[in-house]
Amino acid sequence: MPDPELNVVESLSGKERLLLSAMKLFGESGFDGVSVRDIANDANVSIGLIKHHYGSKEGLRQSVDEYFIKKFEAFYGEGDEHVEDLSGEEVLSTVDSWVANIADDWPLFSRYFRRALLEETEWGAELFRRYYDIVRGSIDRMDAQGRIRPEVDRLWLPFLFIFLETGTLLMDPYIKKVLGRSGYDPDLWKRRYRGYSDMISRGVMVHPTNNRPGNKSDE
């Protein structure tokens, strides 16, 4: 039985339905386990529309990757505005808004990212590299602001950030068994962010202060 949580919205354009159907099916069965006919049938469009809009199944996957990555870039910021430049309260507000906006779509996104990482193919490698680049850029901006302690290992720091986030992604089926619900339920998601932000601020940042996300007074 199809998961109603992952059904494609019929009111979208054919191009948009193809994108979301591909994300859903790739997440469920992997890239090689899905045919262009499967995707077209799920999106309720003709196979020719895939070639028209995306060129090929590979081109469609690349567009899905772009769509996925844009969601994370929207949180970290682009151009001259980045999340690292915000005050602690502003960051928390940004997190709350981002979680609220993506919560309904997250089952689709998380299943896609989990499948890509676990397959250990070029698909997962490229998606991971792009996610790493976003996190690396954020850390480099904080470093340029003099906010990271000199003794912190810059090589491993972006991976530690990624481990904190993707650990929930990969272990969520087991988190559900322990907690009775997903670690991505909005309130647990926000609580988790505050927890590891506090840990990072105290262990990585030069001078943890009250205006950093999740910090409590040291007085």
Domain spans of the chain?
A: 61-204
| Chain mean pLDDT for the chain | 84
Residue 200's pLDDT band (boundaries 50, 70, 90)?
Answer: confident
Other CB atoms within 10 A of residue 11 CB? 7
Q: Going by CATH, does the domain composed of 61-204 fall within 1.10.357?
A: yes
Q: pLDDT digit string (tens) for 72-122?
A: 887 777 666 777 776 667 777 777 787 777 878 888 999 999 999 998 899
Alpha helices in 30-184 (DSSP H): 36-43, 48-54, 57-76, 88-102, 106-119, 122-144, 157-179
Indicate the range of 6-15, 25-34, 116-125 predicted with least confidence.
6-15
> How far, rounded to the nearest angstrom, does the alpha carbon of residue 79 sit from its chain's CA centroid?
20
Query: pTM of the entire structure?
Result: 0.79
